[in-house]
Amino acid sequence: MKADAIDLLIEQKPDLKGAREKLEAMQPGAYCMHRSWGFGVIQGYDDAENKLIIDFEEGKQGHLMDPAFCVDKLEILPTTNILVRRRTEPEVIEEMIKKRQGDLVAEILSHMPDQEASPTELENLLGRLLGPTKFKKWWTNTKKILVKDSRIATPSKKTDPYILREEPLMPEQEILEDFYVYKQPKKKILLAEKLYQISDNVDEIKEDLPNIFDHLTTAIKDAKGLSQAERLHGVWVRNNLARTLHEDPEAIEPTSKSLILETEDLSELADEIPAAYQKRFLDLLTRVFPEDWKSVIIGTLKDSSGKMTSETINFMVERECMDLVAESFRKWLAEQSMKGPVLFWVVKNRNSRKYAKIVDGLVGPRLLSAMFYAIDYEALQNTTSRRIQLADALMDDQELIGDLLENASEEEARDLAQSLLLNQGFEDLTKKSLMARFIKRFPRVQSLLSGDAEEKADELIVSQKSLDVRKKEYDDLINVRIPENKEAIQIAREHGDLRENAEYKMARQDQETLMARKAQLESDFGRARVTDFSDSSKEMVGVGSIVELTQPSGTAHTYAILGAWDSDPDNAILSYQTPLGQALLTHRVGETVTTEIDNNTETWTIKSIQRWADSGRKL
């Protein structure tokens, strides 16, 4: 803007006097950023309208804007701004984006106040620079590069900023610095592990190992917020340092053995062990339980998951215990107690020569039944959108169902197909796809798709209002009560020894109650059929009838027989599932029914039947 135009504007609006510098920056060719309309460039000033003329890249060309309005809504960008340079030096910036990501971030930070930016601030700027499609993958890769860039201090937590250092700091120096600064035992263990791994190649770290060892030993000993797996991980890192310094790790408390002996659930502990230490954990069990290590490891295998499952099986095979593993698998399958991860390992290795002795005889209809049970169980326990590995294996492996059904009878195949149709771990489209594989081998299974299987599950007739109440309860379970319980379990864990931890036991009991209620509601939703009771009859009692009754004593009662979840005895509304509701269904005026509750027999005669839909009453 010209000086005379600014003077006139300030004369008209004295409040803008403090914004003169910003108004002076609104010159033709200046780049700007609007909160809603994005990046733009000022093209000129319309003297007749007293407004700026701005072209915005996101569609508003030649847009007229009041300068007074722009003071608060428009940011004038300096020529050093990376978004401006993308337009003025496109080749330079594009080369940095593709090949010199660290230089690009350093350049951005160099023009920030105090040469630092919060993660959100930096990500928003880079998102505008690259566009939403390209940004996510680019930023994921760039963050890995920045961690190794000695010029930039990367945030250790979400609230920390990215900082351009005055003097570059080598990565190992930064790790050592962080090790001494951080007080959290978990973070200290991870940093000590990194320092130990690079100590052979970095003299400064090697010289500092005694101090690192002392700090880590104290941190583990005093730690109260670590899980048992985290403590064991810390002890292993400490022991590595001890051996390098020629210290006796078994003379330092706590020892790895003492942690194992005080652990109530070894399977739970094994599940949390870092993958790099899983074999070390199994080897530790052989030394802690020299007489019983085989049964102890088989016990952890039963409830194992992920990489620990295959690691444990390989560990036992290497120690010539393949027969024991095979025997255990057959026993678990016969008892229907084989868990999902073990089932997944079996189907993935069913054609392996190396493990033939273990999987021989397992692949068949009983294994498929166990898989359906495990999938259904995991679906009921799952409170997130996490995929079920075993269900994905059934879908992705085109030959698997055929292999499992190879020796099945038609009756077995039909029962298994029914289990599939009622399984809550598969979407409807997936069920149809899997059913096609059943039908290919047993064509008569096709009849199940007509709905015969669903008829085996009792239908629940419900009102819309009662269903809405149940759905509200379910939403509260998923979004509030179950997350709060998970947090309570985690907090209780941090209090120490789980065997004497009453808070932990109570939280776990609450978890069982909540998960059981979640499972019940999900089952009910699958069976529910909503009605407005308009299809009830005037001739016989049905769901949606208002029934006038008399008893031999002359006492008269009038009840509405409504949906499964509508009972409200205070207002004379009964669920059709109540003993009296069940007794009255399909009976007509003049007929008599009896009920027996707690050895008390009563007789009821139907005097009249009215439809709820005609009564004008509301739930």
pLDDT digits (tens, 9 = 90+) for 95-130: 999 999 999 999 999 999 889 999 999 998 999 899
Long-range contacts of 407-414 (CB under 8 A, 24+ apart): 407/364, 407/365, 408/364, 408/365, 408/442, 410/442, 410/444, 412/365, 413/365, 413/438, 413/441, 413/442, 413/445, 414/442, 414/444, 414/445, 414/448
Q: What is the CA radius of gyration of the chain?
A: 35
Residue 456 has pLDDT above 60, yes or no: no
Q: What is the pLDDT of residue 49?
A: 85
Provide the whole-model pTM: 0.51
Quickly list DSSP for 486-531: HHHHHHHHTTS-GGG-HHHHHHHHHHHHHHHHHHHHHHHHHHEEE-
Model confidence pLDDT, tens digit, residues 15-24? 888 888 889 8
Taking the C-alpha atoms of residue 265 and residue 296, their distance in angstroms, rounded to an integer, is 11
Do 154 and 111 touch, CB atoms closer than 8 A? no
CA nearest 142: which of 119, 165, 159? 119
Instruction: Beginning with the edge strand found earlier in the chain, give each strand of the sheet holding 152-153 in spatial order.
Output: 116-117, 162-164, 152-153
User: Averaged over 253-263, what is the pLDDT?
Assistant: 92
Cβ-proximal residues to 618 (8 Å cutoff; 6+ apart), any chain: none
Q: What is the pLDDT of residue 173?
A: 73
User: Averaged over 392-406, what is the pLDDT?
Assistant: 91
User: Averaged over 214-234, what is the pLDDT?
Assistant: 87
Q: What is the pLDDT of residue 426?
A: 87
> Please, which pLDDT band fits residue 574 given cuts at 50, 70 and 90?
very high
Taking the C-alpha atoms of residue 428 and residue 210, their distance in angstroms, rounded to an integer, is 61
CA nearest 473: which of 355, 584, 358, 565? 565
Least confident of 191-205, 221-235, 290-304, 493-507: 493-507
Q: What is the pLDDT of residue 584?
A: 92
For residue 549, the SS3 value is strand
Taking the C-alpha atoms of residue 71 and residue 213, their distance in angstroms, rounded to an integer, is 58
> Please, which pLDDT band fits residue 171 given cuts at 50, 70 and 90?
low
Residue 165 has pLDDT above 60, yes or no: yes
Taking the C-alpha atoms of residue 531 and residue 535, their distance in angstroms, rounded to an integer, is 8
Q: What is the mean pLDDT of the chain?
A: 87
The helix/strand count (H/E) of the chain reads as: 31, 15
Q: What is the pLDDT of residue 383?
A: 61
Model confidence pLDDT, tens digit, residues 362-374? 999 999 999 998 8
* Structural domains present in the chain: 3-77 (2.30.30), 83-169 (1.10.10), 363-457 (no CATH), 460-530 (1.10.287.180), 545-615 (3.10.50.30)
Q: What is the DSSP letter of 422?
A: T
Least confident of 256-265, 311-320, 350-359, 590-599: 590-599
Taking the C-alpha atoms of residue 147 and residue 437, their distance in angstroms, rounded to an integer, is 49
Residue 386 has pLDDT above 80, yes or no: no
**215: amino acid identity, one letter:** H
